[in-house]
Amino acid sequence: MLRFRLAIPLAILLAASASGAPDPAPISAVAPLVYQLDQSPSTHGYHYTFFGNAFFINEQGYLLTAAHVLDTFRDGGQPYILVSRPNSPPRLLKVTVVATDASHDVAILRATPNPFASNFQVSFFRLAESPAVPGQSVVALSLHPAKLRSANTFDLPVQDRSEGQVLSYESTQLEKSAKPADVFLLSHPVTLGQSGSPVLAQDSHAVLGVIEGRWLRTSAAALAKSAGQPTTIPGQPATVPGAAIPIAPAIRLLDQNHIPWHAQSSADRCTGTTKVTGERRAVLARQHAGSAKV
């Protein structure tokens, strides 16, 4: 494959920088995907290994991520997410793999217990029904451990916020035996461990795609020049563009499994055979009022 995937064990995660600017998008919808190393907590909580990110797409505790982030768990092992709590250290929650589409590198997870039904600081993203377009301003949000080589649950994770533009669409093979699939390329670099993170439209914060990896075929400057967009600043090194999976294959997977999701253009969106009724909206409103912070 001609790109570098970004889900890695914490032991080889070298460095990452977090922006100090305030973040208007709900970072509480993002959760690090990890493996718990301890059977019982120490004075610093549970020690864990970090693999990537996932993000909530509804108040039932469902998340999306890149399927390759879960490769380590194919032969066993329980994946967890690290979820924030108000006035308390983050807590590990088990996640189950609901469905995967390896050919498009997307996966659906579900957290248990549902953090939206308890005292957790969580929110969810709406999904864009229109695809990303070249030149569109986007932002990628992710979290990584504060202590890169010794991650513990009592340490708050650090936020990464990467802003840029959509450069172009390309086709690549995301699974060895699969047909080529579309990805869209980003003008900004993505850091190790960002796989599975959401790529948001900068104006609406609707999810346009999922971070897949680095695109090593062409530099961001060359892609921007070919698209008639601004290139890198003279004298600065060329940027390796990031690659993102469009959200459309993830939406199809959600629909196939009758999992509700929220669209950018409507107050509520539910797929499959269930409709969002007035009674259902009232239940969701009570859930949000009791525990969710957006």
**pTM, full prediction:** 0.78
Burial tier of 40 (Cβ tally within 10 Å: 0-12, 13-18, 19+): exposed
**Residue 3: pLDDT band by 50, 70, 90 thresholds?**
very low
Is 25 in contact with 205 (CB distance < 8 Å)?
Answer: yes
**Residue 165: pLDDT band by 50, 70, 90 thresholds?**
very high
Q: pLDDT digits over 173-186, tens only?
A: 888 888 899 999 99
- Give DSSP secondary structure letters for 108-138: EEEEES-GGGTT-------B-SSPP-TT-EE
What pLDDT was estimated at residue 288?
Answer: 35
* CATH number, domain 1-294, options 3.40.50.1980, 2.40.10.120, 2.115.10.20, 3.40.50.720: 2.40.10.120
Q: pLDDT digits over 230-257, tens only?
A: 544 344 445 789 999 999 999 999 999 9
Q: Residue 41, preceding bond cis, omega within 30 degrees?
A: no
pLDDT higher than 80, residue 207: yes
Burial tier of 100 (Cβ tally within 10 Å: 0-12, 13-18, 19+): middle
| Domain boundaries along the sequence of the chain | 1-294
